[in-house]
Structure 1
Amino acid sequence: MDEQSKRKLAAIVFTDIVGFTELSSKNEPKALALLETQRQILKPLVKKYAGEWLKEMGDGLLLTFPTASAAVSCSIDIQKAAKDQKDLILRIGVHEGEITSTGEDIIGDDVNVASRIEPFSVPGGIAISGKIQQNISSLPEYKTKFIGQPNLKGVQQKVEVYCIISHGLPETDLKTVSAKLDTNRSSVFKKFIFPITGAIFTILGGIIWFLLPLISLSSADDISRYEKKIAVLYLDNKGMEGDSYFADGLTEEIISRLSRIKKISVTSRFDVAVYRDKIVDLDAIEEDLKVDFVLTGSIIRSESQVKIMVELVDIADRSVPWGQSYEESIDDLFSIQDEVAINIVNHLDIKISVSDQESVLMDPAANANSFDMLLQAKRDAFNVSQDQDMIDTMIDKLNDIVLLDSTYADALSTRSLYMLLKFWYGGFWNKSDSEVGQKLINSLISDCELALKYDRTNALALTTIPIGHMVHIWTIPKITGKIFTARKALVGINDLKDQYPDHYMTSFAIGMYHRLRSRMASLSRDTDYDVAVELLGKSADQSGKGVKNNISDPMVKLIYEESMKQLSYFQETYSDYSDALLYYSLLFNLYKNETQIERLASVIEKQMEVFALIGDYESSLDKAIYLEKTANQISGNDEKKNWYRYTSGLGVANAYIKLGEPEMGLDIIQEIDTTNISKKKAGMNAQFDFNLIYSLAYRGAGEHSKAIDFINRSIENTENIIEDVKGNEWHLYLTRGNKIYANTLLALLNIDIGNSNVAEKILENVEVDLQKQTRLMYQFSVETPFNLYSAYRHISKNDLSEKYFNIAKDQMLKTSDKLSKDHKIFFTENISTNNKIISLKKDNI
């Protein structure tokens, strides 16, 4: 870079005089006088806020300021001063970013951003970028409003634009803005398809639009400009075999310290784990990891001593710019880590900020003993299951460590994680009135906040805080409470993303945020599904490398497992059945290899369900039989054993009915033992499924009165549940979807026996319930509208019949397009409803 060119972070301001071109053409002397007036009035203001008057471009100004708040404050004062001057009507745009200063000018993509957002301000107003909005959002004197995400000409990055609406500044009216907005960023109300009274709409609308800047999130990867790239290879354990966990922990601590420096790109431990316990092949490392430097070394640990040898290798010429051997008391372990980290930084020939240096030198614990205790606890927790007793045991161990060292950030954040697991796996997310659940949420948030007090870059605490807020949302009954808790989650995610943009936990947290938001009509956006799938898939890939390469950290395995669990079911509920089966298959292999029988049974159950949904009834039948076999292997948990036997029987019966053997289905379902099935467990959908399958079997066998009896039982079951789940949007969506489908089937059954009048009343109720659904229930997204088509056709309501036929056809094609080639054949040929739609479509009916 030229010696005269300097890069720096700055707040950039562009101003423009409204109507100046027209004034120049009519009265050039007056226009020139206006420019002089602008200089006389604005220059002292720019100087007041330590700004630089860099460039005049006709009537426009290019200014820079050292901070965002200085730029905004000066812009407000400029607009106030301009009000008193005739014809000095300004538009102002403000952005923050990295610029290159070349003498008296500046260049860079962020300069273009500032110039491109200026047209989004109204005359006398100020438009700011999302970066500026984030910087001033904690300052109560500033109020902003989200405008949109425009397609800015010549700008590669995505930019959110806001206007300042405090200090008497005018609000941007989009009708007067000629620049293009990105239509993919839709209103959070777009998914509200059910009617709301005007008063409620106004209240909720005001709340959500006020919070919209806070509940929006860009999930694009940050493009970081690193000065050096380094791979820290796992230290070779030369001591006792049982000390491998200690060598790994020490290596990961060095990786963690260096990762805190924003100018250094540190290769993920997942990627370097493949070289563990192998002869160092620098050629392979250079080709695979594309790094500038490699740190290698070994460790020998005795009862009270530790010997560490490290070498920093320059990949370019294979030289060793630094190497050191340490043999010290184990109590001096952290001093060794400090020296290693600082020597690496010094020999990479980069300058780091004071705050980065403080982060690098921050010891993880007060003493080596508590550090070792946590490493051992994590090692022992690698296979901790969803079992509450095992989680409680881990929490007890962590309590002992925190008692020994109350400022140990990693211990506090790890304890918060296991309290989160207790909350999640204990089902407290579905218990809005649970004091135990509320206490867990409060405690885990408190632990995270303490951890960040002692280590502001603690990755686990930064991850657990937003996820804790996310799962808490399910227990909050009021929409305002949900929105403000979602805001807290977003603030936490932004902190995590800022510190660790490429971390696997960042991908997971943002993916989970969008997954959760998609489930709530008051928060959801059209892009949530795609973003959640992309980032949860990325998280699974990232953490999967660690699992494959035997990373011993239980968090890695947990994120890998949860990424796939959350992603597979999420995709299933959006009818992405082929992709869901792919992740269910990966989970099946994971659990089978580790002989985790209960988890294996849960995955087999899901595979059974999805194979049925795509019409592969033979595979669904095979999985149902395999599920019963697996359930019989469960020991020590009769409730789960009985549950999986029960759902296995339902799966077998359903498969035979769909294969055209309803009598066989009836025989099987009549043999299912339901006496040991917990009513509470079965409450959500199992009683519904049981009665529905009975009804389908009797209908297939031509026994309509019995079919009506059992479908009425299903409807009664959903009506009882709706009241219990009304505070949980997702469970309400599922239960109401079941009810709608069952009622369409009931209408057809009544038509079959000649009760058209009864069918019409049922259809009226269905229409009311449909208005309350954000989308059709995924399991019945084709069958429900097709049943309505058939029912309305029989009672000669042709407009409604045609409407629902088109909906059914579109839903079938939409789902079919998502499937793999083989699955698409099953879906279109084996499912009778889809077959009928294709035939009717060919006949142009």
Structure 2
Amino acid sequence: MSEVKRELAAIMFTDIAGYTAMMQENETEAINQRNRQRLVLDDFIPGHKGNILQTFGDGTLAVFPSAMDAVNCAVKIQFELQREPVCPLRIGIHSGDITYSEKDVYGDGVNVASRIESVSTAGGVFVSDKVFDEIKNQPSLPAVSMGMFEFKNVSRPVEVFALTCSGLKVPESIDAEGKLKSKLEVIAVLPFANMSSDPDNEYFSDGISEEILNALTKVEGLQVVARTSSFSFKGKNEDMRDIGKKLGASSLIEGSVRKAGNKVRITAQLINTADGTHYWSEVYDRSLEDIFAIQDEISLDIAHKLEKQFSSVHAPTHLVTSATTNLEAYEIYLKCIYKLSFAPTPELQLEVINELEKAIALDSNFSKAYALLADTYVTTGVWGLVKPIVAYSKAKEYSLKALSLNENLPEAHLAYADYIKYNEWDWDAVGNSISKALQLNPGYADAHSAYGNYLRSVGKYENALKYAEKASALDPLSVNLLNNLANNYVFTREFDKAERTYREALKINPASRPTQYEFAYMYCAKGEYQKAMDYVEEIINSGGKWIERKHLMALIYKNTGRPEKAKEMLDSYLTKVRRGETEADPWDLATLYTFNDDHANAVRYLNIAADEKIGAVVLIKFAVSLLGLHNDKGFKDLCTRIGLK
């Protein structure tokens, strides 16, 4: 009688994707693939302390003493089998109890590993949440969640992760049997088409779309894709099913707006992204004086239709309240929202401030206008368009006014949090204000991003990353949020994830200067300065000569054997300041002095930047450009002064 053994082990299942069909089409090729796979497994598994317990057709069951051994082995197996001729191997790994004898292997752990392998991708490595917990702190083994699964004969839902090491296959998503749907139904509101005779009414159709989007965020059981992502399809004739996949949305809302004199006609349609069919459509003919009532009616009609379609959705009795009694003020507000959606220039920011001042003059109780005005003043202060202390004072005044008029306005709470962040450095108050915004609107992508940045500032890095990831999930095509997420990955030294995220942002906007700039800095953070130089040259060769003027170049020069060029950049800047050709920017001088190893002057100018409330000072602990100062006592004292932990 064979001995029965019980142990806790990491269990690996493998098989060749499409092997049965391969056998039917070309038996010789299928056998060659199987034999090659077995040779690789016979070599690599024992080399990583593993033991092959069973082989069956094209499949293999092996065990390892640790999850690390199993995952490292799996990655190397896939790298080897990606060489020509490629073998489409699937791998699933789980940690758990296993019982085996000479002739049999069984246990819950075996079943889970087998189920994970069955949903995996050829060329990829999929692992259970239990395995992920054991490898998540290993920078060389990054992974991304594929969702929660209810597997047959497994008592609990299992979250499955895909390894994302460079060279491994990672699907965008999995639609497999057993995958649990999100508790929230995801819906996206596409920009309504402007059917008015005047093309300048585009702001109005966009504004109506966004107001409906914002209203639907209040519906229990719905997750509404944020504006940046849903509006990225404006003017594009893409298949609704493809848009749904890109946004991760099960339903889409599209429509049109025709505005003529004091009359408006709005059409709206609800579309199933699974097959492109229409759930519902309606036409609304109303007077402009009833604009808020129309928005409420449309939003509620959509919510009630979704409520009948999905059991998790629960519509309230009311979604939209009148923001203002002055139609002219409201149209000014919509025009400002429209202008700010186009990567606004400094001049446009100042123009928006002037326009919003007119709106609140027309209606002194227009809370949304006050909130947007406060937010815009914060931006002008951070950008240095208005003296920061002046801009932040205005931001405080207008955000508090907005809150006094409507304490349930999430945008006002976020604007007030930004004022505190940049002017007061009272991080507890920052966190409290952003928390309030999220309580009022749990789907507020910018608030999730802001809360993540707050958590990072107070030293809660792991939770900070979760909020950055959530923000990007809510607004998946937002380049700004992808950049923020990638920057978080750089700070936690998850460079593979950072690179993948920067590249994702560049797919959306190949000309994004902030993405290109931060991507180059990522290589510097890794200590790969020649790669940074190569990437900068790639940008320049593509027409991006702007980057040659950036102080990043001084850091690269310093670390690629050309410190004299870093010194030239500092001397050139100081000469321009002396000649009055440019104003002395404390942040610029701090970075240039850092790159030239003059830490005393670097810290001196950072303190000046803090005195002047220059926005970037709240990032000093996280800026790659200032990594060289982290051990300097003066720098540590400044971090304490700002409240950074």
Structure 1 position 534 matched with structure 2 position 492: no
Query: Counterpart in 1 of 2:455?
Result: 514
Among residues 278, 281, 284, which one is paired with 1:326 in the alignment? 284
Among residues 251, 259, 265, which one is paired with 1:307 in the alignment? 265
Q: How far off its partner does 1:667 sit?
A: 7.6
Q: How far off its partner does 1:286 sit?
A: 8.9
Query: Counterpart in 1 of 2:438?
Result: 497
C-alpha change, 1:395 and 1:354, in structure 2 (3 Å) is same
Q: Alignment partner of 1:326: what SS?
A: strand
Partner deviation per Cα, 1:772-812 (whole Å, 9 max, x = no partner): 8999xxxxxxxxxxxxxxxxxxxxxxxxxxxxxxxxxxxxx
C-alpha change, 1:680 and 1:334, in structure 2 (3 Å) is closer
Give the conservation status (yes or no) of the 8 Å contact 2:324–2:330: yes
Aligned letter for 1:238? M
Partner deviation per Cα, 1:11-52 (whole Å, 9 max, x = no partner): xxxxxxxxxxxxxxxxxxxxxxxxxxxxxxxxxxxxxxxxxx
Q: Alignment partner of 1:301: what SS?
A: strand
Give the conservation status (yes or no) of the 8 Å contact 2:192–2:209: yes
Q: How far off its partner does 1:391 sit?
A: 2.0
Q: Alignment partner of 1:619: what SS?
A: helix
1:92-107 pair list within 5 angstroms: none
Give the conservation status (yes or no) of the 8 Å contact 1:412–1:451: no
Query: Counterpart in 2 of 1:620?
Result: 532
Q: How far off its partner does 1:371 sit?
A: 2.7
Q: Distance in 2 between matches of 1:270 and 1:283?
A: 19
Give the conservation status (yes or no) of the 8 Å contact 1:231–1:293: yes
C-alpha change, 1:444 and 1:567, in structure 2 (3 Å) is farther
Q: Alignment partner of 1:685: what SS?
A: helix
1:635-714 pair list within 5 angstroms: 644=549, 648=553, 651-656=556-561, 665-666=563-564, 669=567, 673-674=572-573, 675-676=575-576, 680-681=585-586, 682-690=588-596, 692=597, 714=598
Q: How far off its partner does 1:287 sit?
A: 8.6
Structure 1 position 717 matched with structure 2 position 601: yes
Q: Distance in 2 between matches of 1:668 and 1:685?
A: 11
Query: Counterpart in 2 of 1:703?
Result: none
Q: How far off its partner does 1:732 sit?
A: 8.3
Give the conservation status (yes or no) of the 8 Å contact 2:190–2:253: yes
Q: How far off its partner does 1:312 sit?
A: 6.3
Q: Distance in 2 between matches of 1:384 and 1:274?
A: 13
Q: Distance in 2 between matches of 1:318 and 1:617?
A: 49
Partner deviation per Cα, 1:564-602 (whole Å, 9 max, x = no partner): 4544444444444444445555666777636xxxxx3x6
Q: How far off its partner does 1:620 sit?
A: 2.9
Q: How far off its partner does 1:395 sit?
A: 0.7
Query: Counterpart in 1 of 2:396?
Result: 442
Give the conservation status (yes or no) of the 8 Å contact 1:510–1:535: yes
C-alpha change, 1:302 and 1:716, in structure 2 (3 Å) is closer
Q: So what's the TM-score if we normalise by structure 1?
A: 0.43
Aligned letter for 2:557? V
Q: So what's the TM-score if we normalise by structure 2?
A: 0.55
Q: Alignment partner of 1:362: what SS?
A: coil
Q: How far off its partner does 1:244 sit?
A: 3.7
Partner deviation per Cα, 1:303-343 (whole Å, 9 max, x = no partner): 33222344668999999997654333333333333433444
Query: Counterpart in 1 of 2:342?
Result: 383
Query: Counterpart in 2 of 1:452?
Result: 406
Give the conservation status (yes or no) of the 8 Å contact 1:235–1:251: yes
C-alpha change, 1:542 and 1:585, in structure 2 (3 Å) is same
Aligned letter for 1:251? S
Q: Distance in 2 between matches of 1:645 and 1:287?
A: 38
1:184-195 pair list within 5 angstroms: none
> What is the total number of aligned residue pairs between the two structures?
446
Q: Distance in 2 between matches of 1:493 and 1:646?
A: 33
Structure 1 position 239 matched with structure 2 position 199: no
1:568-647 pair list within 5 angstroms: 568-584=486-502, 593=511, 600=513, 606-623=518-535, 644=549
C-alpha change, 1:669 and 1:378, in structure 2 (3 Å) is same
Q: Alignment partner of 1:328: what SS?
A: strand
C-alpha change, 1:676 and 1:247, in structure 2 (3 Å) is same
C-alpha change, 1:363 and 1:628, in structure 2 (3 Å) is same
Q: How far off its partner does 1:418 sit?
A: 0.3
C-alpha change, 1:577 and 1:726, in structure 2 (3 Å) is same
Among residues 371, 375, 382, which one is paired with 2:330 in the alignment? 371
Among residues 317, 324, 329, which one is paired with 1:357 in the alignment? 317
Give the conservation status (yes or no) of the 8 Å contact 1:306–1:329: yes
Q: Alignment partner of 1:239: what SS?
A: coil
Q: How far off its partner does 1:501 sit?
A: 2.0
Q: How far off its partner does 1:412 sit?
A: 2.0
Q: How far off its partner does 1:472 sit?
A: 3.1
Structure with greater proportional helix content: 1
Aligned letter for 1:471? Y
- Higher alpha-carbon Rg: 1
Partner deviation per Cα, 1:52-108 (whole Å, 9 max, x = no partner): xxxxxxxxxxxxxxxxxxxxxxxxxxxxxxxxxxxxxxxxxxxxxxxxxxxxxxxxx
Give the conservation status (yes or no) of the 8 Å contact 2:221–2:313: no
Q: Distance in 2 between matches of 1:645 and 1:276?
A: 33
Q: Distance in 1 between matches of 2:272 and 2:542?
A: 54
Give the conservation status (yes or no) of the 8 Å contact 1:420–1:468: yes
Q: Distance in 1 between matches of 2:456 and 2:223?
A: 29
Q: Alignment partner of 1:656: what SS?
A: coil
Among residues 400, 405, 411, which one is paired with 2:369 in the alignment? 411
Partner deviation per Cα, 1:614-657 (whole Å, 9 max, x = no partner): 343432333555788899966xxxxxx9x926653553353125
Query: Counterpart in 1 of 2:475?
Result: 543
Partner deviation per Cα, 1:692-736 (whole Å, 9 max, x = no partner): 3xxxxxxxxxxxxxxxxxxxxx35435755875898787589999
Give the conservation status (yes or no) of the 8 Å contact 2:186–2:222: yes
Give the conservation status (yes or no) of the 8 Å contact 2:193–2:256: yes
Q: Distance in 2 between matches of 1:716 and 1:418?
A: 35
- Structure 1 stretches lacking a partner, 5+ long: 1-153, 157-222, 475-481, 519-527, 548-559, 595-599, 635-640, 658-664, 693-713, 742-765, 776-845
Structure 1 position 248 matched with structure 2 position 206: yes
1:93-492 pair list within 5 angstroms: 234-240=191-197, 241-262=199-220, 297-310=255-268, 324-344=282-302, 356-358=316-318, 360-385=319-344, 387=346, 389-426=347-384, 435-450=389-404, 452-453=406-407, 456=408, 458-474=409-425, 482=426, 486-492=427-433
Q: How far off its partner does 1:367 sit?
A: 3.9
Q: Alignment partner of 1:501: what SS?
A: coil
Q: What value does the CA root-mean-square deviation take over the aligned residues?
A: 5.2
C-alpha change, 1:669 and 1:256, in structure 2 (3 Å) is closer
The answer to which of 273-282 and 605-614 deviates more is: 273-282
Q: Alignment partner of 1:676: what SS?
A: helix
Give the conservation status (yes or no) of the 8 Å contact 2:411–2:437: no
Q: Distance in 2 between matches of 1:322 and 1:733?
A: 49
C-alpha change, 1:717 and 1:287, in structure 2 (3 Å) is closer
Q: Distance in 1 between matches of 2:281 and 2:602?
A: 69
Q: How far off its partner does 1:254 sit?
A: 2.3
Aligned letter for 1:446? L
Q: Alignment partner of 1:357: what SS?
A: coil
Give the conservation status (yes or no) of the 8 Å contact 2:262–2:288: yes
Give the conservation status (yes or no) of the 8 Å contact 2:448–2:467: yes
Q: Distance in 2 between matches of 1:243 and 1:309?
A: 16
C-alpha change, 1:308 and 1:438, in structure 2 (3 Å) is closer
Q: How far off its partner does 1:421 sit?
A: 0.6
Give the conservation status (yes or no) of the 8 Å contact 1:736–1:769: no
